[in-house]
Structure 1
Amino acid sequence: MPLSYEIDAKRRLVLVEYWGRAGIDESAEMFGKYAADPNFAPGQIHLFDLRRVTEVEQNFPKFMQFQAEAASAVAPEAMPSMLVYYSPTELARRMAEMVRKSWDGLDGPTLAIIEDEAEALAVAGCTEKSFDELKRTLASDPA
């Protein structure tokens, strides 16, 4: 699966990394695992690292269906408080914009699309200056 997630329960942070082809079925499968994870909690900040995405599945109706199913699977009070997309490439920005558009007109989480790595981490409440540093911190201090 070309994506993974890691929860830092203390920070209420979920790090989601994509690489290669970002597919809708894989995203749905990962969301199901996340929603069932014992460290899942309402109001977590979701930090997406999209720097290694090389292709995005272009099926907007299927994507909207996934977004609707994901939103209905989580009670409104369990929604993430913020979605932060580190999107340093044109393709990554298009992927993040697709997500942003799916929330248009809905009462959902705050969403930020950021091209600068340190800024994306800071907006998500991290003190680390790089995703590599964040991953080392998470590995050395499991939740």
Structure 2
Amino acid sequence: MGASLRILKSRGIAVLRYWDHFTVQQGEDTLAAYHAHPDAAPGQKHLVDFSGVTSFDPEYVGVLALQAKTADIVLPEGFETILVMYAPNPTGLDMAVMVRKSWEHVPAVIPLIAETKQQAIEYLGQKENDLSLFFDTEDI
């Protein structure tokens, strides 16, 4: 199980990448790293790369609890955000669908699923030829 986090402060985008087996605890650890990061800011757009996820715990209750913690940290009152999940394979897509469902009742979050890197960048409102800016991240 692995995770990485990178914040592109000038673009207002947090990039998270997960690989191998994903657990809710891993999501909580990544959220804590985001919260402690000096460049984290309310309302940042989020790009979550699930392309390397090989399996995950389908703990929907745990995902909902994680989503509630995330909302408290990422979305103070009055802020909105776009959550783009890059999911080019069946496992990543299953995970992205589960996460999207957990956010559907939160009007301040627009959860989108992208099946290509280019589509993910476009959803974020970026026009970039060098996709490595968004998809090369450091391990946390």
Which residue identity is paired with 2:13?
Answer: L
Secondary structure in 2 matching 1:10:
helix
> RMSD in angstroms over aligned alpha carbons?
2.2
1:4 aligns with 2:34: no
Equivalent residue letter for 1:96: A
The percent of aligned pairs where both chains have the same amino acid is 28
Q: Note closer, same or farther for the CA distance 1:116–1:66 as it changes in structure 2 (3 Å cut).
A: same
Q: What corresponds to 2:91 in structure 1?
A: 91
Q: Which residue of 2 aligns with 1:108?
A: 108
What TM-score comes out, normalization by structure 2 length?
0.85
Residue aligning to 1:77: 78
> Which deviations, in whole Å up to 9, do the C-alpha atoms of 1:74-126 show, x marking residues without a partner?
423355x1000111111111111111111232223111101122111122133
CA distance in 2, matches of 1:120, 1:24: 23
Q: How many angstroms does 1:133 deviate by?
A: 5.0
Alignment deviations for residues 10-65 of structure 1 (CA, whole Å, 9 cap, x no partner): 00011111110111101101101101211011221101111111011121112211
Runs (5+) with no aligned partner, structure 2: none
Question: Do the aligned partners of residues 48 and 120 (structure 1) sit closer, same or farther apart at CA in structure 2, a change above 3 Å counting?
Answer: same
Structure 1 residues 105, 36: closer, same or farther in 2, change over 3 A? same
Q: Tell me the number of residue pairs that the alignment of Structure 1 and Structure 2 aligns.
A: 137
Unpaired runs of at least 5, structure 1? none
Which structure has more relative contact order (CA 8 Å, sep 6+)? It is 2
Alignment of 1:1-143 (within 5 A): 2-74=2-74, 75-78=76-79, 81-129=81-129, 131-135=131-135
Could you tell me the TM-score, scaled by structure 1's length?
A: 0.84
